[in-house]
Structure 1
Amino acid sequence: MLAVMSIPPTTQAIQGPAIHVQGLGKSYQELRVLRGVDLQVARGSIVALLGSNGAGKTTLVKILSTLLKADAGTARVNGFDVATRAADVRESISLTGQFAAVDEILTGRENLVLVARLRHLREPGAIADDLLRRFALTEAGTRRVATYSGGMRRRLDIAMSLIGNPPVIFLDEPTTGLDPEARIEVWQAVKKLAAGGTTVLLTTQYLGEAEQLADRIAILHQGRIIVDGTLSELKQLLPPAKVEYVKKQPSLEDVFLAVVGSAGSETEHGDADKGDQDRKTTSNER
């Protein structure tokens, strides 16, 4: 599991929402992907952007991160207009895509040092060591990333995105393809980011992920934000719940985590018992 991370709060000299989008539109020839998107993200919060495949989630993130130009509307990130102040926006953000952007030939520490040097930061080695500690990767820091598990790669990817302490981070489906344990580890990392003052815009198709992480949830459908609110506010859109007695059955994730945890515990006890037997055998031989 992740170690306790003391992430320093980000500088918030610029007032107003971290992300402000109004009437954003984008088309690819005849296909209208975004049809007037309105969205606000408060500083230091986690907002989950939900939507089916093709809803426009990634397109919106690309516009906000200056990788695409909008056809209509306005968008500001950390107080800067994405169209007229693109360089300032890029200095204020970090983007973690759907697949971990790490160099498998390098070690984890070397990946972090490389990014720190590219950002022209002082003491890149110290920065790398601090991030390895905060993301519980210190022991794996000297190993090549090719030997990492999916969860470890994702945590390293997010750690790389923190170099320079950007006030706004975009996470585009960060847990796609991860197993339940790795997904929980990434969730813990994201929660720590927000606790340290970082603003997180998270796109996901996992409804449970949005429930676990988000302060607010926005649903993008057919190119528009059709719902935007807290989980409690969204639940109020449905009829009042009926009180019924239901015998709760464990979910598959509950079973998986329980079995894996039990297996790990048995292995540890088994190793300990074996060690005791070995010591007894040695003693008898003497």
Structure 2
Amino acid sequence: MRQTQITALVSLPILLGVSWAVSAQDFSDGPTIRMLEDRLEQDDVAFNATVDRTPDDDLLEVGRLVAMGGAENGGSGMACITCHGVDGHGDGSGAFPRLDGQPGWYLDKQLVDYTSGARPNQVMSAIAERLTEYEMEAVSAYYGAMPTGTIPKHGDVEGTRLQWGGQLAAVGSAEKGIPACVNCHGPSGTGLAPSVPYLAGQYASYMALQLELWKEGVRDNDAMNVMSSIARKMDESDMDAVAEYYARVTRDGAAIDPDMAVTE
């Protein structure tokens, strides 16, 4: 069990060196508002980024400001880019997932759930509680409008484990009563806006940890307890396998990344 990791991440103390991390960021690496405005001309991007209204340049500007630590009650300790990066790519530690291109409505709901305690996390709850509803919507739309690129993967994985993960993703396990991930997350793991996040290309450590949190009842913000009920049927090897599989799926067709080494 990942009990030690769960305890550490859910009750994670306020990060040290936050001010230094923000100052060390190269803001020019992030998407420009003009780039995001151009992307929003595509109907699917606009739908993906929408929380309560179709995003416009004013909403995106506020979202970018919040991400950089400029919320009304913000500051360097509130900067999303500190942990999630200016491009929304996170860092793969298990605590800081990718946000780039996740559905805006889904991201907004997570912020609301952090404030209610349905998704407890000492750092994120403290941040979300200081955001206004408009700021939550703006920063969610900002990340939802971002393009999702392919990021480097790290570490090898046994071929049999990857195959089992692919089977769980595609058809589930009748023996264990585990439904296929594609039923909700789409045939390519690319998510289904507005409420279902993408899994393809997300960090394996983060996905495995969330499954464990659902199984342990620490995270309790899934619709109709779907994820909780699924996770309780999975053991740690199941969680790791499906997480490693989706981490290696590209966002442009769900093919296994050919550059990722797999050991037998």
Same fold (TM over 0.5): no
Structure with higher helix content: 2
Larger radius of gyration, structure 1 or 2?
A: 1
| Higher RCO structure, 1 or 2 (CA under 8 Å, sep 6+) | 1
Structure with higher strand content: 1
TM-score range for the pair, normalised by the shorter chain length: under 0.3
